[in-house]
Each structure stands twice: as C-alpha cells, then as structure tokens.
Amino acid sequence: MKKMAALALSLGVLGIGVYQMNQPEQVIAHGSFAKAYTDVSASQDAQHVVIGKVKKKIKSYVKGWPQTELLIETEQNVKGELPSQFIFVQDGGLDEEANQFVTFENYEIVKPGKSYLFFLNKVNEQDEISSEENGLVKYWSIGGPQTVYEINDKKVKNLYNKQAKELKELENIIKENN
C-alpha cells in the first residue's frame, strides 16, 4: 500500500514537472511608440471608436511578431459605425515555434467577457494580414495599448499607462474632437 502511494505521488510530481516544462515562457517585449497618443489625438486619428465586449479568442499567429485575433461584439459606436461583430487584432500572443507567450510591456491580451473602449482603424491588406475573415472585418487599435481602455462600471482604465477616468469624460473628449 505504501509503495503504491509513493508511486502515485512520484507520478503526480513528475506529471506536474513535465506540464510546467511544456508551458510557454512568458516574455515581455519592450519598445517605443512612433506616436504618443492623447485622448484628443486618438479621437481625431481613429476611424472608429467603439465600446465592445470580448466574446472569444479566435487565434494567435506570428507575422513579424505575435498577434492575437479576438471576436468583439459591438455594444456602442462612439465614433463611426461598426457592425454588430468584428475581429480585433492585438499585438502579443503565443509564438508556438519559440514556445513563448509574448506581451508588449504591460499590455495584456484583452479578456473574454470584459468590455473595452477601442480607438480603431481597419486592417489593410498591405499590412500582411487579411482584412476580413468569415465575413468579419478586422480592426486594430491605432496606438497599441495607448488606445485601449478597460471598462469597469462607469470608469475606464488605459491598458498602457493604467490611468483611470470616468467613461462619460472620455466620451465627451471623443465627441468634442470630431
């Protein structure tokens, strides 16, 4: 009985070790932005500003750097007019070949079930990513993490600099600068 318990424990520890060895390494990439966006400049430069809820992760792939595609359900068009669903292309994700999960600075992959405010432009074909998939148009944030805000209640928090403000305040800035 003791030998069986010891064997079961050994196999459990071995299994956990193998599992942990096969998990992708967490890598945080650093870089600088060609343009530093304020709420005003983002409002002026974005084709669309939308509040959307992340429905699910579609896939990750590497096109120069890891990217993740997520299905977003439009909750409110603040600027422009997006359909009820679209694909958000976010920098960061799983690089299977290198067995690494890459995020850029503190810009975590947006999470299913959560709502965000996005400043978006449409992905162009020349960007080496198809601009549509299964009839859904692809968009990405104009300034990476600088122009994505997590929404909690009536507050928004910038995913890059973590500054928070009232959602209404940000909506007013967007409307005043279009």
> Residue 6 in 3-state DSSP?
helix
Q: Give me the residue label for tokens 């359900």.
A: 73
The amino acid at 17: G
Domains of the chain and any CATH numbers: 29-176 (2.40.50.120)
Report field, pTM of the whole predicted structure over 0.85: no
pLDDT of 95: 78
Query: 102-147 pLDDT, tens per residue?
Result: 777 778 889 999 999 999 999 987 666 677 788 899 999 998 889 9
Q: Could you report the per-residue pLDDT of 42-69, keeping only the tens digit for each?
A: 999 999 999 999 999 999 888 888 899 9
* Residue 11 pLDDT greater than 50, yes or no: no
CA–CA separation, 113 and 54 (whole Å): 6
Can you tell me which residue has the tokens 């148009």?
Answer: 137
Higher pLDDT, 1 or 68: 68
Q: What is the DSSP letter of 156?
A: E
Distance CA 72, CA 53 (A): 6
Mean pLDDT, residues 168-173? 95
